[in-house]
Structure 1
Amino acid sequence: MVIIGWAFVLMAAALQGWSSAVDAANVEIGRGVDVLQRISIIGDMLFGGAPNNKDMITHDILSNANSITDVVNITNQPKELNITFCPDLDSLFDAYFNGFRVDLSETPWKLLTASWSRYTISERFGVSDMSLSPNYQFVLVSYTRPIKMYKTVKNLTRLADLKSSVVEKFKSITSDVESKVTDFVAEYGSHYVDEYIVGDAVFQVFTYLPVFYTKFQKCFYSNYCSDTEQSVFLSPVFAEYVGQVMTIGNKGEVEKWADTNLSSKSRIGGMYTSLFMMKINPRLFNEIAPLMDDQSVLEMHLKTISIFLNDTVTKKWFAEVLDNHVKLREINL
């Protein structure tokens, strides 16, 4: 996300011998991912909806993942909200998944949300089904709390120990035979997990008619839009729909806390909940932090698996075939 930048979302590596907290994340550094067929399961997983079985998501290609993994504790956690203006639903998806990078893909969020119905979108973004109409525009407010980054070492190709079955399958790939590439992808994946960040994020989606969206946007990017003015824009006075305060990880505790502590009275009557209250009252960042998860995937980078091919010609052919398939899939989604 912008949550991840926005928001939203990285998988914790489940290396052998690690704690159950790691197991919950269901992903390992270096494992293969088939972005053409299985990646939408990861989209579900980012919201805690995927089955607890990593083999349904990734492929086993390395036998020594723990030896090529660096773990970095993220100590700098700014207490600030991100506000992102999204002129349409595609932009909202792009903002939400902006921490998810897939080499060769220009719109990875399309791969992640391929199976999402209108009901699923409504439920997972905490917005009314009616607010998803093409007539509306959106503002995403989010707070991200990253905890750790898991990433491959710089000299990955020299240290990585590929499984013998993967090595043999690589040998079978022949230039100008497309099926050899697609067969490999189906069995071992097209990309591998290069790095990811875990932690948690809370977010809220506000829906606007274009006239009020534009008015808020102009105010926000001027030098004279005060917190008070922004809080009014982020309320039923201007927003057509005020979404629920949602979280990626510890949904029950955080969302219950939000209902109690982020409630405000609207100028046009009635009560509503706004994440923006945390900017007005910064002490709320300290209150919500202990309730947030430390295992949810906030960001992820998938690199093409062809990096492990030694032959230059074969590597180029693999990349060309994969690029064509990824681009074609994005066009058809």
Structure 2
Amino acid sequence: MLVLLLLFCVALCGCEDGDLGYSLNIGNAIDVFANYGDLSQVTQVVSADYEGEDARDASVPFSEKNLRVFLNVKSSFKYGDREGITGMEVLLCETFEDLLNVYFQNFKIEGTDKPWKAFMGDWIPDEIMRTFGIEYDANPENCCYVLVKLTKKHKTVEVKENLRGAVVKDYVAMAVNELNVSDASEVRRFMKSYGTHYIESYITGNSIYQVFKYKRGGYNMLRAYIRVRNLRPWIPDNLRFYFSSYYLKQVGDIRIASGNKTIETWAQKNLRDSQYLYSRPSLLRLHYNPILVSKLNTLLDNGALLGLGLRTLRPLFRDRRKAEKFAEIVENDLQLWEVNA
């Protein structure tokens, strides 16, 4: 107990000004378990209205506590395309869980196969579906889903070199040397002080997205059409036909990843598709109208986190055996939390 108390005091006293942060700092360490299941509360990844929270037009992509544990991290970065918004993605999802996996495909957390659970695993299904603009369905397995999405990347940052051999901060190195990795409870206390993973990469920007819930037959026809269109791009573009009410069970609301309500209101008003006697919101308007794309490009802010890469803190350890044992405990715990989320 005396050793643990000493380590805790060293962590508090040794942490220099500027080591502790709450924004995106490449190479810094975070404790994934601190907010596991609700990381979306400290990262802006989906458009969500939290209880008691006013609608915000400005958002922060990342506000999770993180600690500088390495001295000499080098990073590389590149800005998004000059054109801004990328082409429209039409992503086919057999199940609602496929939809979640696809939405979070640019998020990688070493040790887990389903990163979306780290962000939304504690949410009830009704909350998750409302976040994606669709109504709660008690039997989602009877439906298929299509995620339509346009993205505007602002900046991509990643660790420039492998961190093995990186210089570790003195007070962190002292705690590492004292750590008994054979004691799982001691390792877990270490995680709370110094983290489980380091930020290897991230992407900021924004995206506009919409979910369409399909009848099985309509979904199969859309999938067949896209397959043929990819093989024969010269055939007429008839994508809108496969988004008609005949094939659909529900049209979701248009959402903005940054949660910007001003842009969402603009989208609901300007991106409407008229069919027969009624109209509905549809991102397909952007597929056929470059003027609207240009306008949206000026509106989209950089308030969302579009991708995040987290790697286990193996580089903290000079002893390879200790590094692997530490990672084993972290990743085993992650698997358990993933199953139970």
TM-score, length basis structure 2: 0.81
Match of residue 293 from structure 1: 301
Matched AA of 2:151:
T
SS at match of 1:240: strand
For residues 236-275 of structure 1, the aligned pairs below 5 Å read 236-249=245-258, 251-267=260-276, 269-275=277-283
**C-alpha distance in structure 2 between counterparts of 1:202 and 1:247, whole Å:** 5
For residues 49-198 of structure 1, the aligned pairs below 5 Å read 57-62=64-69, 68-75=74-81, 77=84, 79-130=86-137, 133-154=140-161, 156-158=163-165, 160-162=167-169, 164-198=170-204
CA offsets, 1:176-229, max 9 Å, x none?
A: 222232221122221111110110000000001212111211122113696753
**C-alpha distance in structure 2 between counterparts of 1:235 and 1:253, whole Å:** 28
**C-alpha distance in structure 1 between counterparts of 2:62 and 2:131, whole Å:** 24
Q: Which moved more, 1:308-317 or 1:112-121?
A: 112-121
**C-alpha distance in structure 1 between counterparts of 2:90 and 2:167, whole Å:** 40
SS at match of 2:24: coil
Identity level (%):
21
- Cα 1:273–1:91, aligned 2, differ >3 Å: closer, same or farther? same
Q: Which ranges in structure 2 are unaligned for 5 or more consecutive residues?
A: 1-17, 54-58
SS at match of 2:228: coil
Q: Which ranges in structure 1 are unaligned for 5 or more consecutive residues?
A: 1-15, 17-22
- Cα 1:55–1:280, aligned 2, differ >3 Å: closer, same or farther? closer
**C-alpha distance in structure 1 between counterparts of 2:334 and 2:158, whole Å:** 24
The number of aligned residues is 309
**C-alpha distance in structure 2 between counterparts of 1:310 and 1:167, whole Å:** 10
- Cα 1:185–1:112, aligned 2, differ >3 Å: closer, same or farther? same
Q: Which moved more, 1:314-323 or 1:127-136?
A: 127-136
Whether contact under 8 Å (2:153, 2:203) holds in the other structure is: yes
Whether contact under 8 Å (1:200, 1:296) holds in the other structure is: yes
Which structure would you say has the larger Rg? 2
Selected match of 1:30 from 27, 35, 58: 27
- Using the TM superposition, give the Cα deviation of residue 53 of structure 1 relative to its aligned residue in structure 2, in angstroms: 10
Matched AA of 1:329:
W
- Using the TM superposition, give the Cα deviation of residue 117 of structure 1 relative to its aligned residue in structure 2, in angstroms: 1.4
Whether contact under 8 Å (1:199, 1:298) holds in the other structure is: yes
- Using the TM superposition, give the Cα deviation of residue 275 of structure 1 relative to its aligned residue in structure 2, in angstroms: 0.4
Structure 2 residue 46 is matched with structure 1 residue 47: yes
